[in-house]
Amino acid sequence: MRMLGKILMAIRDSGFEISAMQMFNMDRANVEEFYEVYKGVVSEYNEMVTEIYSGPCVALEILQTNPAKTFRELCGPADPEIARHLRPGTLRAVFGKSKIQNAVHCTDLPEDGLLEVQYFFKILDN
């Protein structure tokens, strides 16, 4: 949480608009449901789940006001060490600590973005 303000400023300064933001304390079942697509695919699945439910997380709805760059590109590679070498200006390169604590989650597929926003702002918020 110490880097939240800096991450939010970096997102805004990169030409994106944050249209919704809310902090959640998720339980393990919700995190497992949210990360279900990674189960059996990503070897760090259990560590990812544990990391998210171990403390508060902040969900954002991001609007793209800069069509030249996608939010996925701003986030960079999932592993911050790789990001520092290949994409040093990305959020994960600057703020990430490890592949598990990589500062930000963003959807891999553009069509999943709406589903993830709905999950946090419609399902969990009720």
3-class SS string, 39-100: CCCCCCHHHHHHHHHCCCEEEEEEEECCCCCCHHHHHCCCCHHHHHHHCCCCHHHHHCCCCC
- CATH number of the domain within which 50 lies: 3.30.70.141
Beta partners for 20?
61
If pLDDT is split at 50, 70 and 90, which confidence band does 108 have? Answer: confident
Model pTM score: 0.88
Residues acting as catalytic residues: 105
- Enclosing domain of residue 25: 3-123
If pLDDT is split at 50, 70 and 90, which confidence band does 126 have? Answer: low
Q: How many domains does the chain have?
A: 1
pLDDT of residue 36 exceeding 80, the answer is yes
Distances (CA, A) of 3 to 61, 76, 78, 79: 18, 17, 17, 18
What number of other Cβ atoms are within 10 A of residue 65's Cβ? 10
